[in-house]
Amino acid sequence: MVLDVLGLSSEESTAYRALVSMPSAGPGDLAPQVGGDRDEAARLLGVLERKGLAARSVGDIARFVASPPGTAFGALLLQRQNELRLAELELGSLAELYRAASAGRGVAEVVDVIIGVPALRQRLEQLQLGAKSEVMTFVKAPVAIISGAENTAEDDAVARGVRYRVLLERAMLDEDVDIDGIVAARNAGEEIRIAESLPLKLFVVDREIALLPLIRSSDVATTGALLVHQSGLLDALIALFELEWATAMEVTASADGFAGSGVDDLDVQILTLLLTGLTDQAVAGHLRTSLRTVQRRVRRLMDLARVQTRMQLGYQASRLGWLPGESGHHRG
């Protein structure tokens, strides 16, 4: 991969790596290593020679030896580093120009309109790839733009340390989200909460720009979005997110931290899903278990909490610290 970044094709990279591992090689020696015939190996050796990555053997000009990697790639690596530094300077200059232009936006320029699913998908991907610190999003049914499984830009952003706060509308549990997906997202580092309902779809990046998908019907041809730049409107959308986030149910799928309480992972998942408003049957479906198992587990949780009703169970679970995000008064 490093060699690819430095300007070699995958075939050239494979050939150079093979040549480095040999004292010397001719086309016949290299062919099995590159998965080609003798002619293809000879062509690759010629390319490496022209790029200064291989030289003819003194004892036999039909054979080649690899140039030392430090010598061969040192200058090229320095050139790439200089190019990256220049690109960073140019990016900083463009960012300053953009900020200056944003500060001078008039009322009519605060909001841009995006029309069509392809354009919306592209802009959503760009925003996530460019995110630096935080993404806040309302995920509301129906899914008409991009599913969680398709949104690989989100995975990339989380992997590089961008904080993701995802607020799911409960209806999403019946459409595009399951407990396995929630577990995977939480393990990757995302923060997830569930709300009974959400007023709109929303995607805010670094508190600097927001995307509001607008879906008037199931016909994706009518789908568009508003792109909101820094303004009082953006401030209001951020405040709306924080308000909904503060009152939503945090999702957890692990009993870590509840040692000695008698509560295991399945208990926590059942309790969490029930408190989002799902029925016993829906909880059983999400957890791929039986209705009887869910009801038996709930009864056991009520016994552990020493309560008689499910309403009491919710209160006592909070007091005992069984609910995500609750410190509780006592554990175990």
107-156, pLDDT tens digit by residue? 455 788 888 888 888 888 888 888 889 999 998 877 766 666 667 788 88
**pLDDT (mean) for 209-223:** 69
Does residue 9 carry a pLDDT above 50?
Answer: yes
Q: Which of 240, 233, 173, 161 is nearest to 201 (CA)?
A: 240
| Band (221; pLDDT cuts 50, 70, 90) | low
User: Is the C-alpha dihedral spanning 38, 40, 42, 44 positive or negative?
Assistant: negative
Angle, nearest 10°, between helix axes 265-275 and 280-287? 140
CB distance 239 to 229 below 8 Å: no
**Residue position matching structure tokens 């480095």:** 20
Does residue 40 carry a pLDDT above 60?
Answer: yes
User: Is the C-alpha dihedral spanning 44, 49, 53, 56 positive or negative?
Assistant: positive
Q: pTM above the 0.75 mark?
A: no
**pLDDT (mean) for 8-25:** 86
Question: CB 233: neighbour CB atoms within 10 A?
Answer: 16
Stretch (H or E) spanning 227: strand 224-228
Residues paired with residue 181 on neighbouring β-strands, in sequence order: none
CB distance 251 to 233 below 8 Å: no
Write the pLDDT tens digit of every residue in 228-281: 888 888 999 999 999 999 888 887 666 665 545 677 778 888 888 887 778 888
Q: What is the mean pLDDT of the chain?
A: 79
Stretch (H or E) spanning 83: helix 69-103
222 exposed, middle or buried (CB, 10 Å; 0-12, 13-18, 19+)? middle
Write the pLDDT tens digit of every residue in 73-106: 666 677 777 777 777 777 776 666 656 555 555 5
What does the alpha-carbon distance between residue 48 and residue 24 come to, in Å, rounded to a whole number?
13
Question: CB 149: neighbour CB atoms within 10 A?
Answer: 8
Token output for 261: 């309480």
| Band (331; pLDDT cuts 50, 70, 90) | very low
